Amino acid sequence: MPILVTGAAGFIGYHTCRALLDRGEQVLGMDNFSPYYDIRLKQARLDLLTPHPGFRFQKLDIADRDGMTALVHAHPDMTGIIHLAAQAGVRHSLIDPYTYIQTNLMGQVVMLEAARLLPGLKHFVYASSSSVYGANQEIPFSIDHRVDRPVSLYAATKRADELITRTYSHLYGLPATGLRFFTVYGPWGRPDMAPMLFAEAILEGKPIRVFNHGDMARDFTFVDDIVAGVLAALDRPATPGQDVVPHRVYNLGNHRPEPLLRFIGLIEQALGRKAERELEPIQPGDVAATCADINASTQDLGYHPRTSLDDGIPRFIDWFKAYRGVA
């Protein structure tokens, strides 16, 4: 009985598929190969999955209502959905808002409607984001904090996804869990995120843009730790809480905010090269610091992030150099 993973050719999606396959699951991967970034990276990830006998792939957009309905009818035995596909990127949402609405909102509703058609579905797990905390000033960010003050359209769509999914859980008894990811990094990462942007620039001798003049901190979380949390959530279907709705949200982070300048320093050290830094003001939609309160994730999911930045950055750079063919 397969598990559907959307965004299977994406960063977290690829690692999630691999982890599911490694433990003997049948996986149906789905991706639309959005051109938001170089699709050759997505194809390279997918090429590593397709030889596995337990993996099947369907190229499909999550907002395609007819396509999703047909997929569900073709695979009525699916028992789990891990919905990771989304239009990502805080800053890009200022440039292309319509894509965020189509993918992150319409896509979420289409996926939920598809989930309703599966008679044996045990759990709908979906990606949210630490961005939902928006203008929150309380550190660490707790799932009990207010999340009604987003500072980017991307954040607003991810918070809307949480509300829409909770509504489906209320109306149809659909067990669902939203996972708020905190700054995920690691091998096969996205090229629009800081690790790849910085590594590419340093390697090519170009300056890196350091926002808020370097006075920023992020709860950098290694992808293997995130995937462990995703699978732990999948294995523990949401049950009705105090409000009798089988929906919940959790933070998946490292609970260890790291200064941006230390992060850059570790990349420099791993590459053996110094960066030329251009200090700039904070960008619209950005926040100065993030930190995850993971008490609920630890208690309910057994979530324990194990990879420090000192260990994770060299592992990322080793992959990056191999991928780029750099000795």
Dist. CA 268–CA 262, nearest whole Å: 10
Nearest to 289 by CA among 221, 222, 216: 216
- Report pLDDT for 177: 97
Residues marked as catalytic: 154
The per-residue pLDDT for 152 is 92
pTM: 0.96
Distances (CA, A) of 108 to 64, 105, 153, 237, 245: 11, 5, 15, 19, 18
**Domains detected in the chain:** 3-182+222-253 (3.40.50.720)
118-138 pLDDT, tens digit per residue, is 999 999 999 999 999 998 888
pLDDT, mean over the chain: 94
Looking at residues 304-309, what average pLDDT do you find?
Answer: 97
Cα separation, 314 vs 146, in Å, equals 36
181-234 residue pLDDT tens: 999 999 999 999 999 999 999 999 999 999 888 888 999 999 999 999 999 999
Band of residue 287 on the pLDDT scale cut at 50, 70, 90? confident
Least confident of 75-84, 235-244, 263-272: 235-244
Quickly count: other Cβ atoms within 10 Å of residue 259's Cβ.
14
- Whether the per-residue pLDDT at 327 is higher than 70: the answer is no
CB 13 within 8 A of CB 29: yes
Q: Do residues 157 and 101 touch, judged by C-beta distance below 8 A? A: yes
Contacts of 244 (CB under 8 A, 6+ apart): none
The percent of residues in the chain predicted with pLDDT above 70, rounded, is 99
- pLDDT for 242 equals 63
| Amino acid identity at 313 | I
> Cα–Cα distance between 112 and 126 in angstroms, integer?
10
8-65: pLDDT as tens digits: 999 999 999 999 999 999 999 999 999 999 999 999 999 999 999 999 999 999 999 9
pLDDT value of residue 91 = 83
